[in-house]
Amino acid sequence: MTAPALQIRGCGTSWSILADGVALPTRYHGHHLATAALRGVQQRLAPPVQRQCLCCATPFPSTGKGNRLCPTCRKDA
Ligand SMILES: [Zn+2]
C-alpha cells in the first residue's frame, strides 16, 4: 500500500487538497493554508511503517516518526 498522490487545486479564496484526483471535503481560503494543511494530510494518509520498538525490539506498525514504542510498552510507559 502506498500513500495517495496529493495535489493542491483552486483559485482565489477557494483551495482544496486532492488525494489521487479526488478533492477532500475541507476547503481553504488561500493557497498557503492549503499548503500548510497538505503536510498534516500527508502524515494522516501515510500507511503505517513497520518499526522496531525501542524498548522490547518487537516490530509493530508505527504511525509516525514520534511513534517508536509498541502498544504494549506504550501502555506501561
Ligand atoms: Zn515494546
pLDDT in tens, 29-70: 999 999 999 999 988 887 888 999 999 999 999 987 888 999
C-alpha of residue 1 to centroid of ligand 1, in Å: 24
Global pTM reads 0.60
Cα–Cα dist 77/51, whole Å: 18
C-alpha of residue 35 to centroid of ligand 1, in Å: 35
pLDDT in tens, 1-12: 577 899 999 999
pLDDT, position 1:
58
C-alpha of residue 28 to centroid of ligand 1, in Å: 40
Backbone angles phi, psi at 4, to 5 degrees: -65, 155
Bridge-based pairing state of the strands 59-62 and 22-28: unpaired
Asked if residues 19 and 42 have their Cβ atoms less than 8 Å apart, the reply is no
Q: For the residues of 12-24, what is the DSSP string, one character each?
A: TTEEEEEETTEEE
Whether 77 has a pLDDT exceeding 80, the answer reads no
